[in-house]
Amino acid sequence: MKRIFKPGLLIPVAIIVVLAIWPLLSGNSASSREAMFTLIMSMALASSLNIILGYTGYVSFGHIVFFGIGGYAGFWAITELGWHILPAALLGGFMAALIAWLLGLAVLRLRGAYFALATIGILEAMKALVINLDFLGGPVGLEMHFSEYKRYGGPMESLWMVYWSMVFLAILVTVVSYYIKTSKFGLGLMAIREDEDAAEVMGVITPRAKTWAYVLSAVFPGIIGVLFFFKNGNIEPGDAFRLHFSIEWIVMIMLGGAGTVLGPVLGGGIYQWLRKTLLTSPIFKDYQLVVAGVMLLVIVLFVPTGIIGWLRARSAKLRRVFE
Amino acid sequence: MGNVLFTSAIDGLLIGVIYGLAAMGLTLIFGVMDVINLAHGPLIALGMFGVYLLFTFLGLNPFLAVAIVAGLGLILGVIIYFIAVNRVIDAPPLSSLLSTFSVNMIIIGVGTAMLSTSSYNVDYSLGTMNLGFFKAPGARIAASLVALLTTALLYLFLYRTRPGKYIRAVANNRISAELMGIPSTRILALAFGIGVMLATVAGGLIATILPINILAGGSYELKSFVIVVLGGLGNPLGALLGGLILGLIEGIVPVFMKTTWVPVIEYVLFVLILLVRPQGILGAKE
């Protein structure tokens, strides 16, 4: 029980919890709930990607493919088979994990830029394939009838249910991320990141460790995909497999600090908050992509370790608090 | 049937040469400095709009405009190199992937704000060329010839001139090249500039035959990835071959099945080649 109260885990969870109850405290709860949903979803997605990207050092550029696969699997189960959202979400996570496992066996042999390119190829192949599958609605995608929400007590209740599920998932991802980082398994992953050949010599069974890291980083985007598209009411290939979206997750990780537990949580929050501010500001409305680009460039060139990495490097006291 | 197949194949090869040219820019940069330029697509789009603007507002001949765009592309490439790439040239691949992607975001951001994402057209025609057994728009044939000419010039440059030889030396072994007195940073910048130039030239040529928009470069970027992997990352001649193969696939596959299956085939091929033969078709076994 003692480990639960480590600040390295407590701080990111506290951040998520405080943001999660914000809509209850503020008056205008519907719009702040939507804002917080985007924020918390980004944190969860960035934290998941961080497992393979930050800890293991494998740049999964097309990671959104698992979000799309899970989303499609769950959405299909809800609309075509009439499943409840809960088993559908689990199915989404399972499908994403299964495909990550199968793909991982093959593509995780590639290193560096080759792996990054392969993940882009997989994403585009999957998108092109889904466009051709008629039972998934082809290029138009699938739509959910509005009456589907009645099952959960109406649209309002459904939205809140999805919201709290997302909060739960975000906390779960953070806990998993923390336990990976502080475990022997995580140590193996970080050894792979630093020097894969050396890690292998030191007794890390690298193919197995990498595959597990890939599966773990895929399962949560799969589940989140189901929640997101259930809330959306429709799913289409363009939304489910948007390369740009998954690169945003990488930006969030880099902003907060790759390979840290708190980094993706912080980065996801800051990025989405900044994006929302820019989108609503009259001056930057048209140029939000430019601002994000400049921000990314500055981080990559001058603060490659991100906010948390930078803070950790500055003082030993912060190193003990931030994980 | 035979005739349809033949015409589609020629059509595919004609556009394939231009794909190959675009991919050459990507593969040259990778071959010399191990950087995958994720700003490749927007740079192709800039080439398109360079030709469009010069043609529409100055009334220049599109092929003359391509030459001007090439010069501007070279300068732009050198600038991008010094701003975004030079600092991360020795960092792990993630850094250069992200820094070039940030350039991508900046170009697309400015581009969409100024040009919106609607479609533009270079209204230019060279009539139809009729060779009896085969008909094609003249502009398409001219564009393909320019692409071939550019490839030939690139080879002359790389193999017959001193800066070209420097580039190959730096690609081979940067440290030894430096020991021989080659100013490696300047050569890297030049190589990056040439890579960007090739992308913009390809974009300019595409603009003479197809409608364009600021996001159109993205799909050519993905095609370039497929091509460079087919031909072997870092191998310009392989890129030309890869371009021809991709063009053939795009020309012939729609004869047999729905056009929407073309990208499925392309990307599956891409991933398979990465897995089975990452050095590409022309590459030697390691």
Residue B235 within any structural domain of the chain: yes
Say whether B260 and A131 touch across the interface (CB within 8 A): yes
What is the pLDDT at residue B132? 66
What is the pLDDT at residue B66? 94
Interval A275-314: pLDDT, tens:
888 888 877 777 878 888 898 899 889 988 888 988 888 8
What is the pLDDT at residue A3? 55
Residues of A in contact with B264 (CB under 8 A): 125, 128-129, 132
Q: pLDDT-based confidence at A27, cuts 50/70/90?
A: confident
* Tokens at A199, concatenated: 């890690």
Choose among B45, B36, B28, B41: nearest CA to B98. Answer: B36
What is the pLDDT at residue A108? 92
Instruction: Return residues 18-37 of A near B (CB < 8 Å).
Output: none
CA atoms within 13 A on the CB side of B260: 12
Interval A230-255: pLDDT, tens:
999 999 999 999 988 888 899 899 99
With a cut of 90, say whether residue A40 has pLDDT above it.
Answer: yes
Say whether B110 and A287 touch across the interface (CB within 8 A): yes
Q: Does A109 touch chain B (CB under 8 A)?
A: yes
What is the pLDDT at residue A319? 82
The CATH label, of 3.30.43, 1.10.760, 2.60.40, 1.10.3470, for the domain at A2-321 is 1.10.3470
User: Helix, strand, coil % (nearest 5) of chain A?
Assistant: 80, 0, 15
Q: Does A133 touch chain B (CB under 8 A)?
A: no
Say whether B110 and A112 touch across the interface (CB within 8 A): no
The domain locations on chain A are 2-321
Say whether B258 and A132 touch across the interface (CB within 8 A): yes
Burial-class residue B39 by CB neighbours within 10 Å (0-12, 13-18, 19+): buried
Q: Which residues contact B115 (CB under 8 A, 6 or more apart)?
A: B49, B213, B214
Q: Output Rg (C-alpha) for chain A, integer angstroms.
A: 19
Q: What DSSP letter does each residue of A277-315 carry, written as one string?
A: HHHHSTTTGGGHHHHHHHHHHHHHHH-TTHHHHHHHHH-
Q: Which residues contact B240 (CB under 8 A, 6 or more apart)?
A: B17, B20, B21, B24, B151, B231
Residue B64: C-alpha distances to residues A70, A311, B67 (Å):
50, 54, 5
Range list of β-strands (E), chain B: 128-130, 135-137
Q: Does A122 touch chain B (CB under 8 A)?
A: yes
What range defines the domain where residue B210 resides?
2-126+138-276
Burial-class residue A276 by CB neighbours within 10 Å (0-12, 13-18, 19+): middle
Number of domains in chain B: 1
Percent of chain A with pLDDT over 70: 98
Residue B283 within any structural domain of the chain: no
Secondary structure string (H, E, C) spanning B36-80: CCCCHHHHHHHHHHHHHHHHHHHCCCHHHHHHHHHHHHHHHHHHH
With a cut of 50, say whether residue A110 has pLDDT above it.
Answer: yes
Backbone angles phi, psi at B130, to 5 degrees: -120, 115
Mapped onto helix, strand or coil, the DSSP state of residue A217 is helix
Residues of A in contact with B88 (CB under 8 A): 300-301
Instruction: Report the predicted TM-score, pTM, of the whole model to 2 decimal places.
Output: 0.90
Intervals of chain B under pLDDT 50: 285-286
Report the gap between the CA of A257 and the closest CA in chain B (Å): 13
| Residue B233 amino acid letter | L
Q: Does A274 touch chain B (CB under 8 A)?
A: no
Backbone angles phi, psi at A145, to 5 degrees: -70, 145
Q: What is the CATH number of the domain that holds B36?
A: 1.10.3470
What is the pLDDT at residue B85? 94
Closest partner residue to A297 (CB to CB) among B84, B94, B113 is B84
Burial-class residue A6 by CB neighbours within 10 Å (0-12, 13-18, 19+): middle
Q: Does A128 touch chain B (CB under 8 A)?
A: yes
| B95 within 8 A of B89, measured Cβ to Cβ | no
Say whether B225 and A117 touch across the interface (CB within 8 A): yes
What is the pLDDT at residue B285? 47
Mean pLDDT of chain A: 90
Q: How far apart are the first and last CA of chain A?
A: 18
Averaged pLDDT for residues A261-275: 92
Q: pLDDT-based confidence at A2, cuts 50/70/90?
A: low
With a cut of 80, say whether residue A5 has pLDDT above it.
Answer: no
Distance in angstroms (rounded) separating the CA atoms of residues B224 and B280:
13
Residue B103 within any structural domain of the chain: yes
Query: ipTM of this model?
Result: 0.86
Residue B131 within any structural domain of the chain: no
With a cut of 70, say whether residue A97 has pLDDT above it.
Answer: yes
Interval A49-96: pLDDT, tens:
999 999 999 999 899 999 999 999 999 999 999 999 999 999 999 999
Q: What DSSP letter does each residue of B180-214 carry, written as one string?
A: TT--HHHHHHHHHHHHHHHHHHHHHHHHHHS-B-T
Count how many pairs of residues, chain A against chain B, have C-beta atoms within 8 Å: 126
Backbone angles phi, psi at A315, to 5 degrees: -145, 145
Q: Which residues contact A316 (CB under 8 A, 6 or more apart)?
A: none
What is the pLDDT at residue B204? 95
What is the pLDDT at residue B133? 67
User: Helix, strand, coil % (nearest 5) of chain B?
Assistant: 75, 5, 20
What is the pLDDT at residue A88? 95
Q: What DSSP letter does each residue of A135-179 carry, written as one string?
A: GGTTTT-EE--GGGGGGGTSHHHHHHHHHHHHHHHHHHHHHHHHH
With a cut of 80, say whether residue A4 has pLDDT above it.
Answer: no
Interval A156-205: pLDDT, tens:
888 999 999 999 999 999 999 999 999 999 999 999 999 999 999 999 99
Residue B282 within any structural domain of the chain: no
Residues of A in contact with B105 (CB under 8 A): 289-290, 292-293, 296
| A116 within 8 A of A56, measured Cβ to Cβ | no
Distance in angstroms (rounded) separating the CA atoms of residues B60 and A44:
52
For an interface test with B, give the residue of A50, A60, A117, A140 to mutate (most B CBs within 10 A).
A117
The residue in chain B having the minimum alpha-carbon distance to the alpha carbon of residue A124 is B267
